[in-house]
Amino acid sequence: MSDFPVLNLDSAPSASKDLLQQTDNNFGFIPNLIGVMASSPSLTEAYLTVAGIFTKSNLSATEQQVVLLTVSHYHECCYCMAAHTAIAGMQNVEPSVVEAIRTNQVISDIKLESLRQFTWLLIEKRGLGE
């Protein structure tokens, strides 16, 4: 497997610079994942576009982080768990909700727990149901 450099505003291709600046404006920093993707401006744009569409869903910021943290936990992605834990904190998601997902415990809010379980099953069954 190849190692890809983590690019920044100075080292990224010119076609990625605006995307990196938007990311920095939104989060106050450029996550390493986006920095790596910046090698391919079209990949960076696609990723940020899909992420932007997700933020426009009817799910609240907390619900979105429940989905993203659950997906990260299911796939055992330590980087993703750390990143979404930080983002959840920035979005004022209750720490107990984040901790429940990180430790595979029941979320006390029944709606959020239902969303966590639904997300887990959807991934586990690959959308095919029983």
- pLDDT tens profile 50-101: 999 999 999 999 999 999 999 999 999 998 999 999 999 999 999 999 999 9
- Report the pLDDT value the prediction gives residue 2, as an integer from 0 to 100: 66
Please indicate, yes or no, whether residues 44 and 21 belong to a single structural domain of this protein.
yes
Number of domains present in the structure of the chain: 2
Judged against a pLDDT cut of 50, whether residue 12 lies above it is answered with yes
- Same domain, yes or no: 112 and 89: yes
Kindly state whether residue 80 falls inside one of the protein's structural domains. yes
Q: Are residues 33 and 87 in the same domain?
A: no
**pLDDT at residue 126 in the model:** 87
| Percent of the chain at pLDDT exceeding 90 | 88
Residue 68's domain comprises 61-124
Asked, for residue 32, whether it belongs to a domain, the answer is yes
Task: Tell whether 47 is covered by a domain.
Answer: yes
Same-domain pairing of 109 and 71: yes
| pTM (whole model) above 0.85 | yes
Q: CA–CA distance from 71 to each of 32, 74, 120, 121 (Å)? A: 19, 5, 7, 10
- How far the first Cα of the chain sits from its last, in Å, is 36
